[in-house]
Amino acid sequence: MASLVAIQPKQPSFSVLPSSHSDFNGARLISSFQYKRKPCLSKGALQVTASSEKKILIMGGTRFIGVFLSRLLVKEGHQVTLFTRGKAPISQQLPGESDQDYADFSSKLLHLKGDRMDFDFVKSSLSAEGYDVVYDINGREATEVEPILDALPNLEQYIYCSSAGVYLKTDYLPHFEVDAGDPKSRHKGKLETESLLVSRDVNWTSLRPVYIYGPLNYNPVEEWFFHRLKAGRPIPIPNSGMQITQLGHVKDLAKAFVQVLGNEKASKQVFNISGEKYVTFDGLAKA
C-alpha cells in the first residue's frame, strides 16, 4: 500500500499522513496524494493551529468528500457544522462503521440549514456564529464565497475544493500549479474564486483534485466502467488511448484536507492533488 507523500521540485514543503486506499482493481494505481507548492503566491502568517479545537463550518458535506472529512475533523476534537439546504440527512452510517462509532459521530455533528445563494442569510447566520475555519466543498462561483468572507472578518483559514479541470489544455503534462488556467473552462468559477481569495486579506488554501473515486461517489467515474461491463458493452478508448490521467481515493483526499488545516506551509497556496501514479486511458480500461 502507498503512503501520502509530498513531492516538490527540490525541497518538500510538508509531509502528510500515510494512506491505504490505493490499489485500483489489482492495478498499481495509487491514490496517495502528491502536493506541489505554488511558489509565486505571497505567504501570510497562519494563525490557526490544527492541534487546538476549532469551530469549523463545512459548506456542503452530506454527499461525498464531506462525509469522510467531517468524520476526521470530529475525531480530532473539532466542533463541526454542516451548512446545507436540509434536503438530505446530515449524516449516514457508512458500510463497516459500527453502531457506536456512528452514534458518537452523529451526536457531535451540528447543522445549519440554509441556501448559500441567500447571501443575506449567509452573512447574518455566519456572522452570529463566528466560525474559525471554513471548508468550502461545494462552492463553484466567487459570488458564493464573498458573502462568507464578509461575514467572518476574523476567519483563520478558508480551505477551498477547486478542480484540476481549471487548466488550459496543453500537450505538456503533467500540469503544475503555475500553469495557465482556462477562462472558458466549465470550472472557471473556481479559478475566479481562487483569484478572490488571493485578493482578500484572508488565509486560504485551495486543493485541485483530479478524478476522485471511492464510496458514495455520485459522479460516474469508476462506476461507469462497471456499468458498461455488466451490460456487455465495450469500453470506448479515446484516440490512441495513451493519454495520461490520475485518480485519487476520496478517503485520501479527506485526509489531505485535514493535513492543510493550520499548516503554515499551506497558507495562501494552491495544490494539485491526486494519485501518485499516472495511468493511460488504455491502462485504465484494462485495469
Q: Which tens digits make up the pLDDT trace of 147-186?
A: 999 999 999 999 999 998 888 888 877 888 888 888 888 8
Which residue has better confidence, 50 or 272? 272
Band the pLDDT of 51: cuts 50, 70, 90: low
Band of pLDDT at residue 282, cut at 50, 70 and 90: confident
In the predicted structure, residue 10 carries a pLDDT above the cut 60: no
Which residues does residue 55 pair with via DSSP β-bridges, in sequence order?
A: 79
Angstrom distances, CA of residue 114 to CA of 122, 139, 158? 8, 14, 19
Nine-digit cell at 18?
A: 500515510
Dist CA 64 CA 137 (whole Å)? 10
Q: How far apart are CA 8 and CA 121, in angstroms?
A: 42
**Across 89-111, average pLDDT:** 96
> Percentage of residues in the chain with pLDDT exceeding 90?
55
Delineate the domains of the chain, giving CATH numbers in brackets: 55-215+250-277 (3.40.50.720)
Separation between Cα atoms, residue 287 and residue 282, nearest integer Å: 9
Cα angle value 139/66/151 (rounded, 5°): 45
Angle at 204 between CA 202 and CA 209, to 5 degrees: 160
Average pLDDT over every residue of 6-26: 34
pLDDT in tens, 199-209: 998 999 999 99
The residue type found at 186 is R
Confidence band (pLDDT; 50, 70, 90) for 195? very high
